């Protein structure tokens, strides 16, 4: 040992061997390097690709997008199906009835019944659509009327406030506030609170 309380080289070597500060730091660095994929030169390609990806995690926005996608697909299928039915209604039947009691006559009757059923269904759907559209238009008109009335009320209140503010900020020639309007305002508030 040296005089003056300093450490010798031998004691420094011991601290390195038996888990001193330096060895803990080196162990952490080694773990980080392994985690990041290799010795020295940065990330490996595989670890870089997998750094941000999480497999099997819960992602509500992705779930919402998928749900919306499937919902839109369902509506699209229904729409295409209804278009196909309308096209079939517009095409005249190609079945010919050679005689009344035959099999082809029964098929023709079935086609006619199906057409009648489809036209009734289409008419009822159209009536429902028009009824819903009418209700929506009424609701929109009511909302617009309410909004318009509210805007007018707000404009009136703002006009009153502006007029009151103008009166309250009036000054005399010498820069003193005009007390007449302030006293009137106080009187109005007192009368409003008592009545």
Backbone angles phi, psi at 160, to 5 degrees: -60, -45
Choose the most confident range, by mean pLDDT, from 1-10, 11-20, 97-106, 129-138: 129-138
**What is the rounded average pLDDT for all residues in the chain?**
78
Give the separation between CA 56 and CA 59, rounded to whole angstroms: 9
Evaluate if residue 41 carries a pLDDT over 90.
no
Query: What is the percent of the chain where pLDDT is above 70?
Result: 68
DSSP 8-class letter at 98: S
Backbone angles phi, psi at 139, to 5 degrees: -60, -40
* Tally of domains in the chain: 1
130 occurs within a structural domain:
yes
HSE (CB half, 13 Å, CA atoms) of 34?
6
Domain residues for 124? 104-168
What SS3 state is found at 171? Answer: strand
66 occurs within a structural domain:
no
Q: What is the pLDDT of residue 153?
A: 96
12 occurs within a structural domain:
no
Is 0.75 surpassed by the pTM of this model? no
155 occurs within a structural domain:
yes
* Helix 103-168 with 60-90: angle, nearest 10 deg: 130
Report which of 12, 16, 32 is spatially closest to residue 24, judged by C-alpha positions. Answer: 16
Residue with tokens 């010795």: 39
Please tell me which residue, 173 or 15, carries the higher pLDDT value.
Answer: 173
3 occurs within a structural domain:
no
Cα–Cα distances (Å) from 147 to 141, 151, 152, 163, in that order, read: 10, 6, 9, 24
Choose the most confident range, by mean pLDDT, from 53-57, 95-99, 117-121, 165-169: 165-169
86 occurs within a structural domain:
no
8 occurs within a structural domain:
no
Identify the band that residue 96 occupies on the pLDDT scale cut at 50, 70 and 90. Answer: very low
Q: What is the pLDDT of residue 57?
A: 72
HSE (CB half, 13 Å, CA atoms) of 33?
10
Q: What is the pLDDT of residue 12?
A: 52
Evaluate if residue 56 carries a pLDDT over 70.
no
pLDDT in tens, 132-181: 999 999 999 999 999 999 999 999 999 999 999 998 999 999 999 999 99
51 occurs within a structural domain:
no
């Amino acid at each position: 040992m040296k005089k003056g309380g300093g450490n010798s080289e031998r004691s420094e070597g011991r601290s390195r061997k038996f888990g001193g500060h330096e060895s803990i730091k080196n162990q952490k660095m080694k773990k980080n390097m392994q985690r990041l994929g290799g010795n020295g030169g940065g990330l490996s390609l595989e670890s870089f690709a997998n750094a941000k990806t999480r497999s099997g995690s819960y992602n509500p926005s992705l779930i919402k997008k998928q749900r919306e996608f499937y919902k839109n697909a369902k509506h699209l299928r229904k729409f295409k199906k209804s278009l196909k039915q309308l096209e079939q209604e517009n095409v005249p039947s190609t079945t010919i009835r050679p005689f009344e009691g035959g099999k082809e006559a029964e098929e023709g009757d079935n086609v006619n019944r199906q057409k009648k059923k489809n036209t009734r269904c289409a008419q009822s759907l159209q009536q429902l659509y028009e009824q819903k559209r009418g209700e929506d238009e009424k609701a929109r008109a009511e909302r617009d009327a309410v909004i318009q009335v509210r805007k007018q009320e707000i404009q009136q209140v703002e006009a009153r406030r502006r007029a009151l503010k103008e009166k309250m900020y009036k000054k005399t020639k010498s820069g003193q506030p005009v007390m007449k309007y302030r006293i009137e305002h106080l009187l109005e508030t007192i009368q409003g609170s008592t009545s």
